């Protein structure tokens, strides 16, 4: 199992037609947890991997988590985001992270890319805050 940081910018990214804020993600985790996410490149994700959602604004922090439902697949209709991946939000863990997000400093993030692997030293903090 691998753990990935998935970057969301609420002013640019939308989910369910709404800005991708912590509140939107938290609501979706309970009402409609299945997601279809865009990727700019094929990552070596597999079923059971976790996606930790890093919100770039207003506070840079991880405040939601989902489980990957299958390997990324190609989407030739979107040249800028040519791959997609299906994932399911974890409601209880997302609630816990919304209440107590994991900040950028705790993650040890330098330059932020759209998707990157979680640094080994950050994983225990993420798991503890999510109650996993």
What average pLDDT is seen over the chain?
88
CA distance readout (Å), 54 to 43, 46, 71: 17, 20, 21
- What is the number of residues in the chain? 132
Kindly tell me the sign of the dihedral angle through the C-alpha atoms of 19, 30, 77, 111: positive
pLDDT tens by residue, 21-68? 899 999 999 999 999 888 877 778 999 999 999 998 888 899 999 999
Q: Return the top range by mean pLDDT from 5-9, 40-44, 80-84.
A: 5-9
pTM, to two decimals: 0.90
Contact 81, 38 (CB under 8 A): yes
Q: What whole-number percentage of the chain has pLDDT above 70?
A: 90
- Cα atoms in the 13 Å half-sphere on the side-chain side of 33: 16
């Amino acid at each position: 199992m691998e753990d990935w940081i998935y970057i969301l910018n609420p002013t640019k990214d939308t989910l369910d037609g709404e800005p991708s804020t912590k509140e939107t993600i938290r609501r979706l985790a309970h009402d409609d947890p299945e997601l279809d996410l865009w990727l700019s490149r094929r990552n070596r994700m597999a079923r059971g991997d976790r996606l930790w959602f890093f919100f770039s604004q207003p506070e840079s922090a991880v405040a939601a988590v989902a489980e990957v439902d299958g390997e990324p697949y190609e989407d030739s209709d979107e040249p800028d985001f040519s791959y997609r991946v299906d994932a399911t939000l974890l409601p209880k863990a997302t609630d816990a992270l919304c209440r107590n997000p994991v900040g950028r400093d705790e993650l040890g993030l330098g330059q932020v890319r759209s998707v990157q692997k979680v640094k080994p030293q950050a994983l225990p903090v993420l798991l503890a805050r999510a109650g996993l």
